[in-house]
Chains A and B, each alone.
Chain A
Amino acid sequence: MAYTLKGETGDWEVVIGLEVHAQVVSKSKLFSGASAEFGAEPNTHVSLVDAGMPGMLPVLNAHAVEQAVKSGLGMKAKINRRSVFARKNYFYADMPQGYQISQYDQPIVGEGTIVLDMPDGSTRSIGVERLHLEQDAGKSIHDLHPSKTFIDLNRSGVPLMEIVSKPDLRSPEEAGLYLKKLRSILRYLGTCDGNMEEGSMRCDANVSVRPVGSTELRTRCEIKNVNSVRFVMMAIEHEARRHIEVWESGGKVDQETRLYDPNRDETRSMRSKEMAHDYRYFPDPDLLPLELDEAFIAKIQAGLPELPDDKQQRFMRDYGLSAYDADVLVSERENALYFEDVAKGRDAKIAANWVISNLFGVLNKQGLAIADSPVSAKDLGALLDLLADNTLSGRMAKDVFEAMVETGKTPGVIVEERGLKQVTDTGAIEAAIDQVIASAPDKVAEYRGGKDKLIGWFTGQVMRATQGAASPGVVNDLLKKKLAP
């Protein structure tokens, strides 16, 4: 069911395009040899080029070019053999040259696609318009002085990829999935670490609305620099509702740049960015056109890792997983590796279930990444082995898993310590069954008379008699035999 918002005059559709600024994983800056590392003392990761000193000139970082091409190939996009760096001219306190070196009408990467897996099992293909390289600005700090803004240029010149989607997204949920998928692809490729808190991935959302059924494109607003997936989704919904209100009250939405305030869940106009906005792009005469040859691109193509979409297909094919489960497992490369370690030589579906429902549950609750998981893939695999050979019942395995999370011990040790072995000795179980049967002749008669459902009652009684240590499978088999008329 398509996402719509109800207004007073009818239902509205939301049209969303996202511009993502992803920091390129690199040692040095896009056009200088200063470090691109995050979090240094102010103005230390700054060369005189980054500070816009007179006579300083940019020299392009080859690795940033490779990373951009790699990212483009990861989005099955067109790699432009010739691209041009252009100057985007505007004055801002943290932009020392008075222009940003970016790419304008000739970006390094052209059109591509990102496929989203929707929770209902369907997929949505979202068009990528372009990916281009550009430099980041420095940082303005407004709260250190009553009348001054302080400027730190450490980020000035850090390489960014701006990835612009087509206006193909139709709901906050799709926008969220798009961001997660893009992040996943870039992290697989190692071209961006995707860390939204440190600002290595930032998102601008272009939002407009239109009545359901219409194909017009109404005025859009750009919400700048939203720094979490959740906030992007909230900001879009809020902004869409604001537009509907304006249109329905007979007003006109102004095209403008807005800022999202998550504390108040509202967007407001950013007048500072609006003033005299005429960027006067032109090719940067300090840099010549960037030309890529086939061998360069082929080499990067050959070195690409298996990407989430391909991995997902393989998991479905080789392990028989559902599209959704496979999607969940591949979103982070480390998660997929973990799963494959657990699944190796075991029942993959059971492994997937345990990783997704139990392990991810714990990680989510504790806010941990898989790298910091309290349970290793090897130990989880060992637990599944104990389950498979009936040493543990499902119930017991869950208890052991909890103990593993708490103590970090291996399942073997926990089973040993707690004497948790499941009773599979049929003699002991048979004795318990005989006792139950003897003590409830009326129930036996009812069962034999056709009330099959009573098997559950019998099983429960036997399990209780064995204090849960009996293997439910064995109990069930034996009960059926003994109760047979």
Chain B
Amino acid sequence: MSLDKATVRRIATLARLDVPDSDLEPLANELSSIMGWIEQLQEVDTTSVAPMTGGTDMKLVWRVDEVTDGGKPDDVLANATDSQGAFFTVPKVVE
């Protein structure tokens, strides 16, 4: 499976990674070679195999509906680069 520049551009946009145009070609080659190597999986017959979705076969546990957390905006905001008052900030979003 080889990835072209447009595909790399598309997935980089999805992943929010700014990739300069000059890097697209080498990146496409590099990712293509990795994907080419991965391609060998296609030879495995997986008909009627159920996918393994997690690392364990345990059952999902539930939590009792109680308020046990929150009320600590200082902790929540402590590491924010540009908090204002009790808010996080981002560049203005126009909807």
Do A and B come together as binding partners?
yes
Instruction: Please determine whether B69 and A32 come into contact, CB atoms closer than 8 angstroms.
Output: yes
Chain A, 45-80, CB within 8 A of any chain B CB: 45-49, 51, 59-65
Contact mask for chain A residues 279-295; partner B; CB cutoff 8 A; 1 contact, 0 none: 01001010111110000
B49 contacts the other chain (Cβ, under 8 Å)? no
Q: Give the most central of B63, B75, B89: most A CB within 10 Å.
A: B63
B91 contacts the other chain (Cβ, under 8 Å)? yes
A135 contacts the other chain (Cβ, under 8 Å)? no
Choose the segment among A148-156, A197-205, A432-440, A470-478 that binds chain B (4+ C-beta atoms closer than 8 Å).
A148-156
Size class of the contact patch on chain B: 35 or more
**Complex Cα–Cα for A47 and B75 (A):** 9
Describe B's contact surface by its main secondary structure. Answer: loop
With A62-B64, A145-B84, A283-B54 known as contacts, the answer to whether A34 contacts B73 (CB < 8 A) is no
Residues of B close to A150: CB separation below 8 A = 84, 87-89
Choose the segment among A35-43, A169-177, A298-306, A328-336 that binds chain B (4+ C-beta atoms closer than 8 Å).
A35-43
B58 contacts the other chain (Cβ, under 8 Å)? yes
Chain B, 1-29, CB within 8 A of any chain A CB: 10, 13-14, 16
Q: Give the most central of A42, A43, A289: most B CB within 10 Å.
A: A43
**Complex Cα–Cα for A33 and B58 (A):** 22
The 6 closest A-B pairs by CB, nearest first: A33-B68, A63-B65, A34-B70, A62-B62, A33-B69, A47-B69
28 contacts between A and B (CB under 8 A): A26-B65, A33-B66, A34-B69, A35-B70, A41-B86, A43-B76, A44-B72, A44-B73, A44-B86, A45-B70, A45-B71, A60-B63, A62-B64, A63-B64, A84-B53, A142-B92, A142-B93, A145-B84, A146-B92, A151-B87, A151-B88, A259-B95, A272-B95, A283-B54, A285-B53, A287-B60, A288-B58, A289-B53
Taking beta carbons and an 8 Å cutoff, which residues of B are in contact with A?
Answer: 10, 13-14, 16, 53-56, 58-73, 75-77, 82, 84-95
